[in-house]
Amino acid sequence: MIQRIQTIYLLLSAGISAGLIYVFHLWTNKEGLKIFADDINYVFALFLVSAFFSIAAVFIYKNRQTQFVLGRLNILLNFILLGFFVYQSLNVSGEADVSEKGIGILLPILSIVLLVLANKAIKKDEDLVKSVDRLR
């Protein structure tokens, strides 16, 4: 059902992945320019795919198993984003492209936490339905 707690978690995750990437910068380069997610095409695409997976999982509430799998894929996608950000910020070739980290690097972590909470609630609903089916 749409009025479940996992819907709130999934919508918050979609809001972080699609909305906050325009508000918080990822890092500041050595020239002093703030780099946002939409400045790097593949990072921007990964954030939008993550938001799409979250929105799609909201509307697939009748098929909880698919909803759970979409949540897992979304968590994996956010770990890939986080790994890219860690790699980019720890680049040790002299003066790196990243001279000052922004709070936008933490957005995948927030999204992962919300997606884990959503998957936990989806699993709880699935277990509840299975227990009711056993009583029939």
The answer to whether position 107 is within a domain reads yes
What is the average pLDDT across 10-26? 91
Report CA dihedral (17, 22, 25, 29) to the nearest 10 degrees: 120
Supply the range of the domain harboring residue 65.
5-129
Distances (CA, A) of 118 to 19, 42, 70: 19, 26, 11
The answer to whether position 67 is within a domain reads yes
What is the average pLDDT across 91-106? 69
| CA atoms in the 13 A half-sphere facing the CB of 127 | 6
- C-alpha of 47 from chain center: 7
What pLDDT, on a 0 to 100 scale, did the predictor assign at position 95?
A: 56
Position with higher pLDDT, 54 vs 33 = 54
Number of domains in the chain: 1
pLDDT above 70 (res 41): yes
The answer to whether position 34 is within a domain reads yes
The answer to whether position 66 is within a domain reads yes
Position with higher pLDDT, 87 vs 113 = 113
Cα separation, 96 vs 11, whole angstroms: 35
Is residue 123 very low, low, confident or very high in pLDDT (cuts 50, 70, 90)?
very high
| Residue 66 near residue 60 (C-beta atoms within 8 A) | yes
The answer to whether position 78 is within a domain reads yes
The answer to whether position 136 is within a domain reads no
The answer to whether position 134 is within a domain reads no
Mean pLDDT of the chain: 87
- C-alpha of 3 from chain center: 21
Cα separation, 48 vs 44, whole angstroms: 6
The answer to whether position 59 is within a domain reads yes
